[in-house]
Amino acid sequence: MRSLRCIWTVHPPHRLPHRLHAAQRKPPRGHSPPAAGRTTPMTTSGAATPPRFKRSSPRKKQQSRSRRLAVDLAAEGADTTGVPVAARPLRPLPSSLAVPAQIPVARPLPREFFEVDALDLAPRLLGKLLRRDQVVLRITEVEAYRPNDSACHGRFGITARTAPVFGPGGHAYVYLCYGLHMMLNVVADKEGIGAAVLIRSCAPVSGLEIIQQRRGQQTEKPILLTGPGKVGQALGLSTDWSNHPLYIPGGLEVLDGPEPKNILVGPRVGIDYASPEHVVAPWRFAFAGTPWISAPKNTLKPQ
């Protein structure tokens, strides 16, 4: 009773339940009670002050912003270190990427490599490399479009849009799809034939940060490059690249690379408007054993 009278003397009756309730309150999860000899700070109402959470230091935030800015500048070709971008060593990719080890950049393929039927060129492009500046991609999925093919743009004849399809083999044909996506095609066969191979998917070899910046996705998963529009965006392409020769060093190039051991084949994607025999034609080719392939995957079978 003596201790109780002491409490009532120091603290008015209306504060006692609050103090007792605060004393019995359990500490928040993840926070240990104060050590012996230390007092918990109180608010003016007598309640314990809520724990303060640690915030990122301004210096770390500034460093993060500086790294993002350096990536943006590198994507535009700016010089941030005094060394030309093209001369700087490439940053190695994280080991978590499900792609082969860093592939040394090889020589451009000769023009004659492309001057064959699109159905022959398509599987031969698997494993080859696409390079533009610091970005190097490995081709993992393609589709062939041939003359007299009801799914080929050449069916419309030579127009302002389709003229590059009728150009020499080994040139680029880039068109805008649905007003959003830049689709990269490699022109096949001889000039005037009207055939091409669509690059559907790729895997990153170098320039990952630039790819992520262009795509607007900070990920290392296959969603980054599995789809023809994603490939065009990662390379920073526009329709101005149409008619560009892919066998000449500089700009956009197709380089030699290792051939796949196994290939998957299946019908092409999104061509329901074509004739039935062309809808089911197995003119889609993909690198077997890699996740860097676009959907649908269940229509692909071993060759």
Q: Please provide the average confidence, as pLDDT, over all residues in the chain.
A: 79
pLDDT at 19 over 70: no
The superfamily CATH assigns to domain 111-302 is Methylpurine-DNA glycosylase (MPG) (3.10.300.10)
What's the confidence (pLDDT) of residue 25?
53
Question: What pLDDT, on the 0 to 100 scale, is given for residue 258?
Answer: 92
282 Cβ partners below 8 Å, 6+ apart? Answer: 265, 266, 267
pLDDT higher than threshold 70 for residue 194: yes
| Six-digit token string for 179 | 């007003």
Q: Which two tokens stand for residue 42?
A: 């109180």
Among 98-102, 166-170, 298-302, name the one with the lowest average pLDDT: 98-102
pLDDT per residue over 73-125, tens digit each? 344 343 333 333 333 344 444 433 444 444 455 788 999 999 999 999 999 99
For residues 128-143, give the mean pLDDT.
Answer: 97
Give the pLDDT of residue 57. 53
DSSP result, 112-158:
GGTSS-HHHHHHHHTT-EEEETTEEEEEEEEEEE-TT-TTSGGGG-S
Prediction pTM value: 0.68
Q: Are strands 263-266 and 129-132 parallel, antiparallel or unpaired?
A: unpaired
Give the whole-angstrom CA distance, residue 211 versus residue 204.
8
H or E stretch at 206: strand 195-206
Q: Where are the alpha helices (DSSP H) in the chain?
A: 2-10, 16-24, 58-75, 118-125, 208-215, 228-234, 276-279
**Type of residue found at 116:** V
Task: Return the structure tokens found at 285.
Answer: 């080719």
Residue 153, Cβ density class (10 Å: 0-12 exposed, 13-18 middle, ≥19 buried):
buried
Instruction: Please give the Cα distance from 80 to 82 (Å, whole number).
Output: 6
Residues 6+ positions from 34 with CB-CB distance below 8 Å: 40
Q: How confident is the model at residue 145 (pLDDT cuts 50, 70, 90)?
A: very high
Distance CA 45, CA 182 (A): 63
280: how many CB neighbours lie within 10 A of its CB?
13
Tell me the per-residue pLDDT of 218-255, one tens digit each, with 9 for 90 and over. 999 999 999 999 999 999 999 999 999 999 998 999 99
In this prediction, residue 211 has a pLDDT band, given cuts at 50, 70 and 90, of very high
> In this predicted model, what pLDDT tens digit does every residue of 21-75 receive, in sequence order?
444 555 555 555 555 544 545 555 555 555 554 555 545 544 554 454 444 434 4
Reduced to 3 states, what is the DSSP secondary structure of residue 46? coil
Give residue-wise pLDDT tens across range 257-284: 999 999 999 999 999 999 999 999 999 9
Strand partners, 80: none
Q: Count CA within 13 A, CB hemisphere, residue 120.
A: 9
